[in-house]
Amino acid sequence: MLNEWEEFKAYTQKVEYIATSKGDTTYLGRFTFDTILRFEGIARILTIIARGYLFHEKDGAVKQGDPRGQIDAARRALCAWCSIPDSKKAIPKEEWRVQTDFPDLHDEFPALVDEHDGGWFYRHVHAVADFMLKNQSNVREPSLKKAENIRKKFDVAWRNKVFQYQIRIFSPKTKGAWTLRFDDVIADALELGPLRRMEAELSPELMAKIEAITSKNVPSEVICTLIVYYTANKSEDSDWVVLPVANFDAYFGDTNFGRKYLSKIPKEIIERPDSGFGVSRYRVMPAYLP
């Protein structure tokens, strides 16, 4: 969440599908089941990908020149990452229909979509399900049920999402419930700029102050990360910062960060006006800012 370039690589490079015990969810990568099955946190993921292609070279160096010249390429990268093979029962598309499979983008983005239409996310989700079903001794029973849900329901749900992401803002087909589109993602990416590379680090004095009033059940790393993330994302006209809870869950290794830790953080340090687990907002009290 702080080193956004590493986050970008986690969303675009190979994932290590392993588990050494039932509590090990390394095979999920930087994702949670809420993201895979309910698409929570997908807005941030798509924005990170768009920023990577708008502002960075392959080695991570910041590109020179106006990033607006890369908008079309960033949109194609999003299409490639989201690509899903067409349903075997699908009727051939008319030319005007919105496309959801993008094998034509394989040459430009070979890591994001393969020659068989499988986008990065589609391949990752099915690799997760396959791994769980083949390694049941190292997977918890509730997760195995989710693997079956992925096989039965994911393709239809994701295909509908990819269709919606491409609807233009002023299209007559636009519905109020379609709150995320590639246009929105690219607009956010242009505003946020290049990916950051920060570390979660506070002074020893501030850490001692935090630990003095914090339960031992809340790792200091969690509060430290939230404070640094807050200072990096706070705008000048607001004391509040959006907290993408689902993405933090994935960052901390699917530890139920939102349900397990947030409610236990003292209000003297962090104030949060609601208890949402998908997206929330929060502010750090001035006495605990770096």
The tokens for 64 are: 């020179």
The amino acid present at 24, given as its one-letter code, is D
Mean pLDDT of the chain: 90
At 255 the pLDDT is 65
Phi/psi of residue 271, each to 5°? -105, 135
Q: Taking the alpha carbons of 243, 245, 246, 251 in that order, is the dihedral positive or negative?
A: positive
Q: Taking the domains of the chain in order of start, what are their residue ranges?
A: 4-192, 204-288
Q: Taking the alpha carbons of 185, 189, 191, 196 in that order, is the dihedral positive or negative?
A: positive
pTM here is 0.90
Q: What is the pLDDT of residues 227-285, one digit of tens each?
A: 999 999 999 999 999 999 889 999 887 667 888 888 889 999 999 886 555 568 899 99
Q: Taking the alpha carbons of 148, 245, 225, 255 in that order, is the dihedral positive or negative?
A: negative
At 252 the pLDDT is 85
CB 35 within 8 A of CB 42: yes
At 179 the pLDDT is 74
**Per-residue pLDDT for the chain (290 aa), expressed as one digit of tens each?**
899 999 999 999 999 999 999 989 999 999 999 999 999 999 999 999 999 999 999 999 999 999 999 999 999 999 999 999 987 655 555 544 578 999 999 999 999 999 999 999 999 999 999 999 999 999 999 999 999 999 999 999 999 999 999 987 766 665 555 578 999 999 999 999 999 999 888 999 999 999 999 988 888 889 999 999 999 999 999 999 999 988 999 988 766 788 888 888 999 999 988 655 556 889 999 999 99
How far, in Å, CA of 206 to CA of 227, rounded? Answer: 11
Q: How many CA atoms lie within 13 A of 271 on its CB side?
A: 11
CA-based nearest residue to 4, from 228, 239, 288: 228
Helices (H), the chain: 4-12, 33-38, 42-55, 71-82, 120-134, 141-149, 155-165, 182-192, 204-212, 220-233, 245-251, 257-260
How far, in Å, CA of 179 to CA of 163, rounded? Answer: 13
Q: What is the pLDDT of residues 16-34, one digit of tens each?
A: 999 999 989 999 999 999 9
At 167 the pLDDT is 84
Contacts of 153 (CB under 8 A, 6+ apart): 37
At 56 the pLDDT is 96
Contacts 24+ apart (CB under 8 A), 134-137: 135/19
At 108 the pLDDT is 97
